[in-house]
Structure 1
């Protein structure tokens, strides 16, 4: 096994005083120290060359690579592999090139201060990421730890909680954890929303409590239709649940949602598996606006939205692991194009509600091993004092796995 030539040392607010013997020795032996201005300031001056992190990271990676013949130590916050730079370094230079010496993370320190079991707490980084990501995780009783970008973020998180119906949630802002200037604030989400600023280095802890009129949403597929903004073009809840189940959400997989309408399939895919990715493709600009609004409201701001007609707008997109075709199924050649772009082992799920669409599915099925099912849903409604069954348009579903 090749000996690692990059050592990533996690460091806390207390600097060298909080490090173990191994970490201190690695820093003392370093010929090159790489870190942010704050991290480098925690380490006394030495003969080691100092390299400041630059943006984009690729620029600093090039500087590290140019010094590959020297002993390089990268300083990072807490645990470098928990939303830290360790992941990017390993991805760039390889596992065998990088050794990680972790420190206690801000999440661990926050749980210690609050007496929260870490295994029962969901830890998220919102550093440089949309705050709307937290919305998919808001459920009564859930405990969240949120690593933020700056001192204004806690107040913005409070406003998000209030708007989502979680104003009564218990919140704590813990700043400079483990250092001499450690600070703590506690209050409700409503009070947090009115508190304008905190120290920049902070973690926000939230114990979610829903307001009496809050509509809490689970992360399983099949949310009510009226949760989405739409013009009537939305995959109905019962059919959507079957579609997402057929797509089999799994970590890291990429979904194309073609003819996305309101974006409901792609959004529920992301809610079911937060590490998955999705691209919604829609022709109409008014529906594009609805997709973006739905993604923001329902905690899927990472949804990529592409405006245009398939397959023309698909050529520059990464090949998908999953495809859902809900609109344009009868478009000549579209199914065959999607089948060709699908990655090996991937799944194509297509729905048809018209006779022409069903004919296209049956033609595609010729010579292929597919699963076909008819989904028929009836909903009870009251008319003139009586309850009646109203049938929705039946949907023909095709599921094909590329082998």
Structure 2
């Protein structure tokens, strides 16, 4: 039988040691050191072990743990350490033989059990260190979510955000200190819930709002959802472009000539593990990209680089897919061939005659698919209506 690891990560609930399993109690009894947040340490009775408050910032606690190698150590975390907890961070810094984890019931499980919600059909999010906009991709009438919050004051911020997004009629259950003697649950609507709440706190949400307030799950979001200076890939062309880019889970997009960032945003919305790097040479458009990424709750997965082509392409994290929406030149095409690995997918949009000629020559040399799309929109023409044509779009798609 293998030797017991020197580090044990224990998920502690609000009822302290009363909720721990025998293995966790035995680990505490034999520990030389117990390290954890002061709130967790206060839940334990007097121990023989040396108590250490987990330092701030969090990363310093990892270094403190490393300095304790060779002693029997217990690290305290909340509930299930591997569900928006410290477990994954600790596991990244230590080998599997050094540590073990003994999870407790997560706050998500406790809330779902109280409300009778099937957890596999409930969105679970940790917003204790994230902006409320992380909810944006998921807001839809009839959906349910349980979200962890930083502290009691964040409840009002969450309620205000829901109301601003058209979901003020959502029913909230504000859950404080779940599973312990201080447990308290307050129910109300997002648009009028009030009161003072204390940490630790989470909120269960039964979303209610107009269907049109939810983001469509297909490519080609409405143009007016984005901040723009007028230069952006419009909805029909964006839908065609996202279809050609074909995002898959976990893929990385390089968006050259980001503009308003609409392509990168929709790419990131395609899957929670999709990420994008966008290159833009104009500072004012850098601001637009950042604002749109924040508004859609995907700024943590979009890296923005201000730079000029082709120099900005050097030393980038290799992408799975490249989109060229601006700045097309023969030099750029040759740089793409030189800098990125064969097999990288590539989609290029062009509207000028010069760019169209480049793409025609590029297809003759590299193969791929060349598509020309002409779009027209019905608009008033005097007392009647007529077709107003957009510039024809030429799109090349293929692989390097």
Match of 1:286 in 2: 284
- Counterpart secondary structure, 2:253: strand
Match of 1:39 in 2: 40
Distance 1:235 1:385 in 2: 30
Instruction: Give the C-alpha shift of residue 104 in structure 1.
Output: 0.8
1:124-171: per-residue Cα shift (whole Å, max 9, x none)?
111111221111211111111111111111100111111111111111
Match of 1:356 in 2: 354
Aligned CA-pair RMSD:
2.5
Match of 2:227 in 1: 229
1:266-345 mapped onto 2 (5 Å cutoff) = 266-302=264-300, 303-315=302-314, 317-330=316-329, 332-342=330-340
User: TM-score, structure 2 length as denominator?
Assistant: 0.90
Q: Are residues 342 and 131 of structure 1, via their aligned partners in 2, closer, same or farther at CA, if it must alter by over 3 Å?
A: farther
Match of 1:217 in 2: 215
1:75 counterpart = 2:68: no
Match of 1:85 in 2: 86
Bigger shift: residues 346-355 or 130-139: 346-355
1:73-132: per-residue Cα shift (whole Å, max 9, x none)?
221111111111111122222445432221111111111122211111101111111221
1:167-205: per-residue Cα shift (whole Å, max 9, x none)?
11111111100010011111111113xx26411211111
Distance 1:271 1:323 in 2: 17
Bigger shift: residues 75-84 or 1-10: 1-10
Note if contact 2:124-2:147 (Cα within 8 Å) is conserved in structure 1: yes
- Counterpart secondary structure, 1:243: helix
Distance 1:265 1:279 in 2: 11
Bigger shift: residues 381-390 or 264-273: 381-390
1:236-288: per-residue Cα shift (whole Å, max 9, x none)?
21221222233333344332222111110111112221232223322222222
Q: Are residues 127 and 339 of structure 1, via their aligned partners in 2, closer, same or farther at CA, if it must alter by over 3 Å?
A: farther
Match of 2:120 in 1: 119
- Counterpart secondary structure, 1:65: helix
Distance 2:52 2:337 in 1: 48
1:1-21: per-residue Cα shift (whole Å, max 9, x none)?
986443221111011101111
Matched length: 398
Q: Any stretches of 5+ residues in structure 1 without a counterpart?
A: none
Note if contact 1:133-1:301 (Cα within 8 Å) is conserved in structure 2: no
Match of 1:203 in 2: 202
Note if contact 1:172-1:185 (Cα within 8 Å) is conserved in structure 2: yes
- Counterpart secondary structure, 1:190: coil
Distance 1:176 1:81 in 2: 19
Q: Are residues 69 and 297 of structure 1, via their aligned partners in 2, closer, same or farther at CA, if it must alter by over 3 Å?
A: same
Match of 2:163 in 1: 162
Q: Are residues 120 and 373 of structure 1, via their aligned partners in 2, closer, same or farther at CA, if it must alter by over 3 Å?
A: same
Note if contact 2:140-2:213 (Cα within 8 Å) is conserved in structure 1: no
User: TM-score, structure 1 length as denominator?
Assistant: 0.89
Distance 2:399 2:35 in 1: 47
